[in-house]
């Protein structure tokens, strides 16, 4: 094992599959939507808009053209990376011990990638710094002007949800809702005549389904004091995400790769670093609504 872990080595395919299985369970967007393959140089998804319905044609009858519009939506992958220092005993450990360390790294990396998908695609910021990313631009829910915004009112939270659903284009279904933890808590505490209306959300639970609608409760929705409270819409059809399946794992033995000021050899350490290319697209912003806290 020690001889195979060299600079630029790729995670095994089964490891990549395992990693993104974990991501799907921890990212609201990944959980509520469908993934697609994403090449390193990006791809285009063609969206057809057909305003007319299909036409019945009698035998020998005239066939009339329906209206149509086509617009490509670009999915451009963004590279994310995560690295960590471990003792250089890793290089000389048994294969079993190395696998144990790599499994822990894989699990930790999956959590960070999962959070990154949500943070980037919802808020448009660099997850590490919390600052706006020019690479993302308006390819996110917070900055896409086509996504309807509903003003949050804690005393009218059910009406907020209904208003958000009503604002979605009639051509789309409502397949899911991603909620912040405080939004979920407010729903959980809602009572009528002393009876809790959403007991499945009590005590911080994340039931997966509420009133027949797929839901996910995640701290990423309110990342860095974001005003977002919930996003509702047709995640199954109008949001796509994916990743390039080749994920390099570097084992760096020399230098100061994280610019900490500490040389690896001087501190008897090696540096593990993984990189992933992730892309996503909001296919049609009219398929979504955001419930957000707004200034008076």
What are 133-142's pLDDT values in tens digits? 999 999 999 9
Task: Name 276's Cβ contacts closer than 8 Å, sequence gap at least 6.
Answer: 79, 80, 81, 113, 243, 244, 247
81 pairs with which residues across the strands? 275
Helix locations, the chain, DSSP H: 13-26, 28-32, 95-118, 157-166, 181-188, 235-238
In terms of pLDDT, which residue wins out, 232 or 11?
A: 232
Q: Kindly tell me if the per-residue pLDDT of 71 is higher than 50.
A: yes
What is the model's pLDDT at position 102? 82
What's the length of the chain? 296
- Cα 94 to Cα 96: distance, rounded to the nearest angstrom: 5
pLDDT tier, 43 (very low <50, low <70, confident <90, very high otherwise): low
The beta strands (E) that lie in the chain are given as: 9-10, 34-35, 43-49, 69-75, 78-87, 148-151, 176-179, 191-192, 195-196, 209-210, 213-217, 228-233, 239-243, 248-252, 269-282, 288-292
CB atoms within 10 A of CB 197: 13
pLDDT tier, 50 (very low <50, low <70, confident <90, very high otherwise): low
What is the model's pLDDT at position 52? 64
- Cα 127 to Cα 125: distance, rounded to the nearest angstrom: 6
- Cα 188 to Cα 176: distance, rounded to the nearest angstrom: 18
pLDDT tier, 39 (very low <50, low <70, confident <90, very high otherwise): low
pLDDT tens-digit readout, 226-255: 999 999 999 999 999 988 877 778 888 899
pLDDT tier, 4 (very low <50, low <70, confident <90, very high otherwise): very low
Q: What would the mean pLDDT of 70-95 be, rounded to a whole number?
A: 83
* β pairing state of 176-179 and 148-151: unpaired
Least confident piece of the model among 46-50, 114-118, 212-216: 46-50
Least confident piece of the model among 25-39, 67-81, 272-286: 67-81
In terms of pLDDT, which residue wins out, 267 or 65?
A: 267
Residue 210: exposed, middle, or buried by beta-carbon count in 10 A (0-12, 13-18, 19+)? middle
What is the model's pLDDT at position 70? 59
What is the model's pLDDT at position 19? 84
Is pTM beyond 0.95 here? no
Q: What would the mean pLDDT of 103-118 be, rounded to a whole number?
A: 90
pLDDT tens-digit readout, 140-158: 999 999 999 999 999 999 9
Q: Kindly tell me if the per-residue pLDDT of 91 is higher than 50.
A: yes
Task: Name 103's Cβ contacts closer than 8 Å, sequence gap at least 6.
Answer: none
In terms of pLDDT, which residue wins out, 2 or 119?
A: 119
What is the model's pLDDT at position 40? 55
Q: Kindly tell me if the per-residue pLDDT of 6 is higher than 50.
A: no
pLDDT tier, 207 (very low <50, low <70, confident <90, very high otherwise): very high
């Amino acid at each position: 094992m020690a001889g195979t872990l060299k600079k630029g080595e790729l995670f095994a395919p089964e490891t990549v599959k395992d990693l993104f299985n974990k991501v799907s369970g921890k990212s609201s967007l990944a959980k509520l939507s469908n993934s697609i393959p994403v090449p390193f140089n990006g791809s285009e998804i063609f969206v057809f808009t057909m305003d007319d319905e299909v036409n019945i044609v009698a035998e020998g009858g005239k066939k009339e053209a329906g209206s149509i519009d086509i617009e490509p939506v670009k999915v451009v992958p963004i590279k994310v990376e995560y690295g960590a220092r471990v003792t250089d005993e890793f290089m000389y450990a048994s294969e079993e011990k190395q696998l144990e360390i790599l499994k822990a790294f894989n699990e930790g990396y999956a959590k960070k990638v999962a959070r990154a998908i949500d943070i980037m695609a919802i808020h448009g910021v660099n997850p590490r710094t919390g600052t706006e990313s020019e690479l993302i631009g308006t390819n996110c829910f917070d900055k896409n002007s086509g996504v309807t915004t509903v003003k949050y009112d804690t005393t009218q939270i059910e009406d907020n949800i209904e208003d958000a659903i009503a604002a979605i284009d009639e051509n789309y279904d409502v397949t899911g809702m991603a909620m912040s933890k405080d939004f979920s808590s407010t729903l959980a505490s809602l009572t009528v005549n002393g009876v809790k209306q959403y007991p499945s959300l009590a005590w911080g639970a994340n039931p997966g389904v509420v009133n027949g609608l797929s839901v996910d409760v995640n701290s990423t929705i309110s990342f860095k004091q974001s005003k977002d409270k919930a996003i509702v819409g047709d995640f199954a059809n109008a949001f796509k995400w994916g990743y390039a399946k080749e994920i390099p794992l570097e084992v760096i033995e020399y230098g100061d790769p994280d610019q900490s000021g500490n040389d690896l050899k001087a501190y008897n350490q090696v540096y593990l670093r993984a990189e992933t290319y992730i892309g996503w697209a909001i296919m049609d912003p009219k398929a979504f609504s955001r419930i957000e806290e707004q200034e008076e």
